[in-house]
Structure formats: C-alpha cells, structure tokens
Amino acid sequence: MKPALILLPLAAAAGLQAQGPQQLPPFAVHSPRIANQSPAGTYAMPVSALRFEPRVDVHARNLAEGQADVTLRGGIFENTGMQLGAVSLPDPQTAHYLAELPVAPALLGPPEIKVGTAQAAGAANSTVGTISQGWRRVRTGGAASAGMGQHQLRRAEIHQGYAGTGSRPAADVAFARSESEGAIPWGDHEFWRLNGRLQWAGDGRQTDVFAGYQEKFFGWPNLYTPFNSAESENLQTVLFVINHRREFPEGEFLEAGVFHRRNKDDYAFNRFAPLGAVHPFQHTTWLGGIAVAGRKGFGRVALDARAELLADELQSTSLVFGRFNSRTLLKLLLVPEVAWPQRDGGRLVARAGAAWDESNRDGDALAPVIEVAREFHGAGGLRVHGSYTKTTQVATYTALNSSATAGLFRGNPGLGRSASHDLELGLSGTFAGWTGSAAVFWRRDEALVDWTFQRGVTARTANPVDLAVGGFEAVGRRSWSRIDLVVGYTFLDKDADYLGAAVDASFYALNYARHRLTVAATLRLGRGFELRIDNVARVQADNLLRVIGGRRALATAAGLAYRPAQWPRLEFGLQADNLWDTDFQDVPAVPAAPRLVSFSVATTW
C-alpha cells in the first residue's frame, strides 16, 4: 500500500470504549486523541502520548522516549511548560529534559494542552503553551505487558494498585524496563523506572504522595551536534510530589502541591573517547517548588488565583561562565471573571487580570490576561472566545552559562527575560456529531532564546530573536460503533528578526511545520481484532541544516491487537513505528530513527 493511501480508510482515535457487541474490557488509555497508547521501541512514558497529539509537535532524537523536544504552536522546547497537578516542572538546565518525568502514565490523567488564557493562568516560566496532567484515582487491580522486537529489543512493565473503602489510603506501584542494541550503530538504549504512590481520596477530594526514579542511557550519532560523532546521554531523574485537590460545585476548586526534582545528566560528545576527554559535560540540577491555585465563585463573579514559588540550583563541569548558578522564581496571578446570563440560556463571560513574574536574577514583569467569551445554551456546547495574554520566562543555564567564545555550545550571559504576546480567536463545541475546537492566533515573541548556526562557526550559539508567528489550528473527534477518529490540522507562518546577530540558520525557532495534519484511528475489526493507526503528514519550512529527508514527510505508527474471546483480559499486539521508514529529520542534522517492529503481550486483572 502506498503511504498516501493510508489516510483514506483510517478510522478513529483510541481511548473510546467500543460500542455494541464488540465491546472489550478496557486497557490503559493514556490519551483519547491517539491510537497507539504505547510506543513500539520501549515502555510508555508521559511523552509517548504526545508523539501524535494534534496540537503538539514532538521533535525526537532516537526514540521520543530517549530525548524529545516538546513544542506547541510554533514555539520551541524552551517555551513549553510542564505541569503535574498544581506544580510546574520546568527544566532549569536546557529544557531538552523537560519531558524527563519518572512517572508511569498509568498514574496520570490524559494530557491537557493549555494555550491562551489557560496557559497564562497555568505553569510558571513558560510562554507558548503547557502540557498539564492530573493524578489518576487509584483502583484495585493491575496490568502488565512484555515485548520484544528488532535489534534485540526487550521491554516489560507492571502496575499494581489497591484502593481501600471509605477513608482508607490507597496505593500503587509501577516498574518498567527496556533495552535494545539500537536501530542504527551506536543507537542503543537501556531504561528503567520505579514508582510508588500513596493516595487518600473521597468525594471531591484527593491527596497524592508520589516518589519516582528513572535511569536512562542511550546513544545516537549526531545527537546534538552535526559532526558525525557517536554521542550518548546518561540520565538519572528523581521526583517527589505531594499534591492535594479539592473540587466543589460550579467548577470551584482548590489545589496545592509541593515537589522536589533532581536531574543528573552525563552527556558524551564521543562515547568512546578516553574517560578524561569524554565526560566534560556533567550537570546536576535541583528544582523544588510549592504552588497553590484555585477558583471561587461569588454569584455572577468568580475569581481565579495562583501563587507559585520555584527554586533551582545547578552543578556543572562546563556551565561555569555565567553570572549565577541558582535562582528563585515567583508567579502570582489574579483573574476576576464576570458572567451575564443571556436570553437563550447561555452566558457572556469577561475575564481581566494579570500575572506578576519575579526572579532574584532578572527583571520582573506584569503580564495581563484578558478574555471575552460567548457560551451558547443547547447548541452543542458552542463557545466562542477572543483573548489577549502576555507571558514571560527567563533563560536556561545552558544558554546563560556556556562559554560565549569556545566549545560546542556558545552561550550568552546577558540574556534577559523574554516575553510573548498572544492574540487568539477561537471556538469549540459539538457539530454534526464531531466534538472539536479551532483557533486562529497571532503571537509576538520578544527576545526568545534560539540556538543558531553561522557559516564558518563549528558551534551552535544562543541568540535572542523577535518572532512574529501567525497560525491556525483545528481538532475534531468522532466515534461510531466500530470506528473512532481524531483529525487535527495546524498552519504556521513566521517572520524572524535576530536583532543584528550573524545567523545563517536556526536549529529550533525556524524548524517548524508550515502545514501539519494528524489522523489517529482505531478500527474494531471484529472477532477480537483491533487496528490502531497514528499518522502525521507535514510540509516543513525551508532549513539549510536539514540535509536528509526533504521538507515533506508522512510518519505512521500502526498496531494490530488481538484479544481472544476465551481470555478477554489478554491482548497480543504487533506494532510498527515509522512504518514507511521515512528519513525525515525532526531536528535538522539529527538522523531519523528507522522503522521498528515489535511484538507484545499485555494483561489486566
């Protein structure tokens, strides 16, 4: 079958319960907007559910679960926020490690993509958008899976939960491991993760106490540099979180959390060089924080508020050229809301407030949040809104503390606070059986930190850039008795001003898809068979750094699952990532991961 033809018969995104006589017992659903809930090449991580997310563009090196830059709306990995429950989890070193969350997806709710006013009222120190996930309620039962595949792939994971009755505590544990020789020479990996959680839950309230640890070693030629070197990463991540959420009628809530994260990174430019030469890039970051957020109504008036304090520290063998290696960040937000009932039963809602961003190392900023929305009654939940928001952030230590004159990565200690101004007009609701949303937006990024290339210079350099970004995005979802379908489309256009710096190409800010189409499908074939297909087709903007793969690409992950009627809690799966073996480079000059096929067995109890 030709690659283009796969888009025609595709059916539906996974995660919806089957309807009619073919209904099967539920397995883990990490996101209802994708079809294949786990990758073919390793165990599932929180980033796995984002690989084919309609509004997220993940730029992977090796496996996405190895290293992935998570981008939204034409931003870069540095702009994106990550949120677990109440707390924000930025990466102070580089944001390449933003997705290093040592948490089994089975412990988390589906990812929520926050942009516009939701982003402005959410995660600290991010500008374009945030990936937000809550903590899933513990249930008594468990699941396990094991798989093997090409290149001596072996993977396994297990999750077990126990929930008492009444006010008794609940608990769950999870373990996962994966290893492979790699799809290309020196593209091997070895991962493992261990989680434990205690939970107290009742009507409208939930408290989670979580501890997680993950080790990841992986190699990939040209992982970060275009010099044909066998590079590798060795990461150890520790995360502790305490989160409490209380929900009240009419959408009111109170949520608070505290966390500690340690990320230890040993990057090798040449993994085979003698020990003294191969390990000049060793970094450890400590990040801790506390956050409180809530919403309270007073009749037609409501108040959204958030307060968050973050503190980080860096210890590094190479990031030693900046002005500081520790800092604190404070975000305070207050957004009043007023609603006016309309004759049709709907509402006119206006919100106007601001966030205050403060740091002990950079200037402070006041960021307005404004939105007007019209909510219609009895029209499929139709909501139309217009908004203006400003968000700000400070640079990471790799940009600030790398040498400005030598080395593979050239920093800039003078980088200050960047800001984004976002105008948006959008709608959401249900139309002719489809549930979805669409938005047109224009964003002005001021002093965004980008990593750039200049002819004759062998390193990449951190430079500020002013960007004008225009875009349109739409997502639609529908389910039939045998088919679920999710379709997403994004258009982007950019105009860049590097403020006088000598720049010939951009690794990140100008590495974006002008057109990106996603189609996620699940087709229940009957007799226990289910076909799951995720697709992303793109037309990329020109970039002279992308030497292989061209501008146009179609990537597909396909899985065929079988559940025997006599053992309905057992599932056999055959899955392929990069089905068409495309060589498109997600990050310019970084080799694409070839096609990978694996077989798995999973069970629930």
Q: Is the pLDDT of residue 7 over 90?
A: no
* CA atoms of 603 and 605, how far apart (whole Å): 7
pLDDT in tens, 495-554: 999 999 999 999 999 999 999 999 999 999 999 999 999 999 999 999 999 888 789 999
- Across 545-572, average pLDDT: 94
- Across 109-119, average pLDDT: 96
- For residues 77 and 91, the answer to whether their CB atoms sit within 8 Å is no
Boundaries of domain holding 196: 3-604
**First-residue to last-residue Cα distance in the chain:** 38
- For residues 553 and 582, the answer to whether their CB atoms sit within 8 Å is yes
Give the amino acid at 112. Answer: E
- pLDDT, residue 533, reads 98
- For residues 375 and 383, the answer to whether their CB atoms sit within 8 Å is yes
* CA atoms of 76 and 98, how far apart (whole Å): 12
pLDDT in tens, 243-297: 999 999 999 999 999 999 999 999 999 998 876 655 789 999 999 999 999 999 9
Quote the tokens at residue 555: 């990537």
Instruction: Kindly state the helix (H) or strand (E) to which residue 88 belongs, with its residue range.
Output: strand 87-88
- pLDDT, residue 9, reads 29
* CA atoms of 178 and 262, how far apart (whole Å): 22
Instruction: Estimate to the nearest angstrom the gap between the alpha carbon of 170 and the chain centroid.
Output: 28
* CA atoms of 605 and 598, how far apart (whole Å): 24
Q: Which segments of 299-343 are extended strands (E)?
A: 301-316, 326-341
* CA atoms of 573 and 524, how far apart (whole Å): 14
- pLDDT, residue 11, reads 31
- pLDDT, residue 570, reads 96
* CA atoms of 485 and 532, how far apart (whole Å): 10
| Burial category of 536 from C-beta neighbours within 10 Å (exposed 0-12, middle 13-18, buried 19 and up) | buried
- Across 476-490, average pLDDT: 97
- Across 443-460, average pLDDT: 92
- pLDDT, residue 166, reads 74
* CA atoms of 163 and 199, how far apart (whole Å): 9
Q: What is the pTM of this model?
A: 0.92
- For residues 187 and 217, the answer to whether their CB atoms sit within 8 Å is no
Domain count across the chain: 1
In CATH, what number is assigned to the domain containing residue 224?
2.40.170.20
Q: Is the pLDDT of residue 25 over 60?
A: no
Q: Look at residues 410, 495, 387 and name the one whose alpha carbon lies nearest to residue 448.
A: 495
- pLDDT, residue 78, reads 93
